[in-house]
Structure 1
Amino acid sequence: MGKGARKKGPKQDRVPKVRDVFVGQPFEGLAAEPELIALREFVPSATAKLTLVDGSDVTLGTVLPMAAAAFVRSDGERFLGLQVQTRSSDISRDLGRSLRWLLSAEPGDVLSVPDTTTPADPDEHNRLQDILTPSAELEVTIHSDFAWWLPEDADATGDVAVSLERANAAIMPTDRLGAGAYWVLAGEKAHLRWVRPEPENLLLQALARLSAAGTLGLGEGTRYAGSFRAHGLLVPVWDLDPEAHAREWDEPKDQLGARLDESLKSLEAEPLNATERRARDGLIGRQLTIR
């Protein structure tokens, strides 16, 4: 062996590293995508049954006690939490792993945080798209408090009682006006927040066409406030009369939806004109992104 040469040790197997890539549209491919985004980002207290491909079901909740990722209630009902304090580059994978944990958990078990540290594996089938029935819609139940954390007639104690009190105090009155569409009373203002499934560029063009025509509102005293991006989809927001009851906006919202659908359809044959393009540029300038 020559001078300066290094003796080679035994050959070691190298485990290929898998790049952890940010997934900007984590719920893509699921029919419930707009609903999942709404429940994760701005709906305070709501539940929905999740249909799994194996025929079993669990209850999806917006926020769980102590912002847990999942838990099994003392009566055996299984809950998966959407609004958690930690996340990886792929929310769908985080939720899928928590869901896998939940299926083998026992009453009283709590998963405080989702598994966000295990590297992604291309052969791992733990995303929501692998576990849920893709075509299933969500039947959402809106709650005025978080009493659903507990079995019927049960009393909260200890940390759960403290968490319940804090969560109840933070709730803003909310009502569902349709798939991905929610009325919320935020202090002295009321809003319609509507998660739309269309690609952002196409939706902006349709909104711009309505804006240029003066038909983007929901009636007198309402206005289009802007939009924000959430997990790959655009969420338009309208300011509403805070004195009106949530159910008074059912019909105006449906009429707006019909106009928006017609506007989307018209884009197939007629591109935006100069006035509509200026309206689109104005809408683009009133956006922000939520991750």
Structure 2
Amino acid sequence: MATKRRPRTQSSAPAAPRPAADGEIPVVGAREPCPCGSGRRYKACHGRAAAQAATELVRRPFEGLPGECDWVALRELVPAATAPLTLRDGLPEDVPSLTLATVLPMAWPALRRDDGTVLLGLQNDTPTGDLSRDLAAVLTDSLTATPGSPVAAGRTSSDGPRLQDVLDPEAPFVPTVHEGFEFWLDDAEKATGEVAASLERANAAAVPTSRLTGVEAAYWCQTPTKNHLRWVMPHPEEALLDALARLHAAGAATLGDETRLAGSFRAHGLIVPVWDLPGAMGAEECEKPAAAFAERLAEALGAATPLTSEERRARSGLTNRQITLS
């Protein structure tokens, strides 16, 4: 037999929504009562809008930063690399330097060393869809972290600063690619315990990688069967695909004998063409062909005529082979 529902009295009805003193609703646990006074849990009330904002994907999180293409490469392609970062307002006196790193021991979001220097990890899972804002939040926390300790990822404010707000827009972004992850430590030979084990595993898994010097954001890598060149390009997607199709149809999309444009993928809003290379073709041997290709690509990007039927077929093939990483 069903239990009769007790009539709701005035005193038991949910209170009307009530903003905080500063007009904003504080963030609380998902199952806690919403601070607005609605009587509902936070996740079913104001937390719903916050969650939607947190998961909204920013397509090009590094747009506007110097070296956007290299930021994408270090996030998605390069195993071991570092780059010095410069803040708009300068570093605190007790922070000698700030360095971006592809990855840190145990996938720490950031690390503040005993001497106060800060390493910021780039290849980490982030809590929201705005990678730039998440990284800026970790960066800010790391500047005041206790020396000699890793920095955990905290809650990211939906209106918090982004990397574009905290980094110096005039400072060049200059990555250095490393053979291994010894940059984690001041003296890697003295590493012990979990850090030493993590270092050994990371070095064993690292794919040999080099950054070309004659063109921007092009990275050679070596695999057991063949080598590859992966080149992050800043051009608008449609224009770039048209240009690549023109070159492919003309037989001008290769980097020399036994090389081929294998396809491309999309990462953080940019297109990354990928070439298969013979095993004997190292990074140095890629320099001249890549520079020559850059000139052909610039000419193809400037073409105004419609694609021919052959070029359209080439474009369709490139599009069908394209994947999206992020």
Same fold (TM over 0.5): yes
Q: Match of 2:148?
A: 108
Deviation at 1:10, TM superposition (A): 5.3
Asked whether the 8 Å contact 2:220–2:282 carries over to 1, the reply is no
Asked whether the 8 Å contact 1:73–1:149 carries over to 2, the reply is no
Paired residue for 2:18, among 9, 13, 16? Answer: 13
> What SS does the corresponding residue of 1:193 show, helix, strand or coil?
strand
Deviation at 1:134, TM superposition (A): 3.0
Q: How do 1:230-269 and structure 2 match up within 5 A? A: 230-266=267-303, 269=304
Q: Match of 1:216?
A: 253
Asked whether the 8 Å contact 1:196–1:233 carries over to 2, the reply is yes
Query: What is the Cα-based RMSD across aligned positions, in Å?
Result: 2.0
Asked whether the 8 Å contact 1:183–1:192 carries over to 2, the reply is yes
Higher RCO, 1 vs 2 (CA within 8 Å, ≥6 residues apart): 1
> Is it true that 1:157 corresponds to 2:192 in the alignment?
yes
Q: Match of 1:171?
A: 206
Q: Match of 2:237?
A: 200
- What amino acid sits opposite 1:283 in the alignment? L
Q: What residue ranges of structure 2 are gaps of 5+ in the alignment?
A: 1-6, 20-24, 26-45, 92-96
Deviation at 1:66, TM superposition (A): 0.6
Find the aligned partners of 2:57 and 2:188 in 1 and give their Cα distance: 43
Q: What residue ranges of structure 1 are gaps of 5+ in the alignment?
A: none
Q: Match of 2:315?
A: 280
- What amino acid sits opposite 1:41 in the alignment? E
Find the aligned partners of 1:96 and 1:9 in 2 and give their Cα distance: 38
Residue by residue, what CA displacement relative to the aligned partner does 1:247-290 show, whole Å, maximum 9, x if unpaired? 11111111111111111122xx3232222122111110111110
> Is it true that 1:43 corresponds to 2:78 in the alignment?
yes
> What SS does the corresponding residue of 2:243 show, helix, strand or coil?
helix
Relative distance call for 1:228 and 1:172 in structure 2 (3 A) is same
Relative distance call for 1:135 and 1:214 in structure 2 (3 A) is farther
> What SS does the corresponding residue of 1:130 show, helix, strand or coil?
helix
> Is it true that 1:66 corresponds to 2:109 in the alignment?
no
> What SS does the corresponding residue of 1:225 show, helix, strand or coil?
strand
Q: How do 1:65-84 and structure 2 match up within 5 A? A: 65-84=105-124
Count of residues paired in the alignment: 282
Asked whether the 8 Å contact 1:48–1:59 carries over to 2, the reply is yes
Percent identity over paired residues: 49
Find the aligned partners of 1:173 and 1:85 in 2 and give their Cα distance: 24
Find the aligned partners of 2:317 and 2:256 in 1 and give their Cα distance: 21
- What amino acid sits opposite 2:18 in the alignment? D
Asked whether the 8 Å contact 1:193–1:237 carries over to 2, the reply is yes
* The structure with more radius of gyration: 2
Asked whether the 8 Å contact 1:74–1:151 carries over to 2, the reply is no
Find the aligned partners of 2:148 and 2:296 in 1 and give their Cα distance: 49
Asked whether the 8 Å contact 1:228–1:236 carries over to 2, the reply is yes
> What SS does the corresponding residue of 2:261 show, helix, strand or coil?
strand
> What SS does the corresponding residue of 2:147 show, helix, strand or coil?
coil
Asked whether the 8 Å contact 1:75–1:151 carries over to 2, the reply is no
Deviation at 1:29, TM superposition (A): 1.6
Q: Match of 2:38?
A: none
Greater shift in the superposed pair: 12-21 or 40-49:
12-21
Residue by residue, what CA displacement relative to the aligned partner does 1:41-79 show, whole Å, maximum 9, x if unpaired? 110111000121113351000110111100012232210
Q: Match of 2:28?
A: none
- What amino acid sits opposite 1:77 in the alignment? T
Relative distance call for 1:232 and 1:188 in structure 2 (3 A) is same
Find the aligned partners of 1:154 and 1:97 in 2 and give their Cα distance: 32
Deviation at 1:154, TM superposition (A): 5.7
Paired residue for 1:229, among 266, 279, 289? Answer: 266
Which structure's residues are more often strand, by fraction? 1
| Structure 2 length-normalised TM | 0.81
Relative distance call for 1:11 and 1:257 in structure 2 (3 A) is same
Q: Match of 2:64?
A: 29
Residue by residue, what CA displacement relative to the aligned partner does 1:212-253 show, whole Å, maximum 9, x if unpaired? 111000011100011111111111000011112211111111
Q: Match of 2:33?
A: none
Asked whether the 8 Å contact 1:40–1:82 carries over to 2, the reply is yes
> What SS does the corresponding residue of 1:101 show, helix, strand or coil?
helix
| Structure 1 length-normalised TM | 0.90
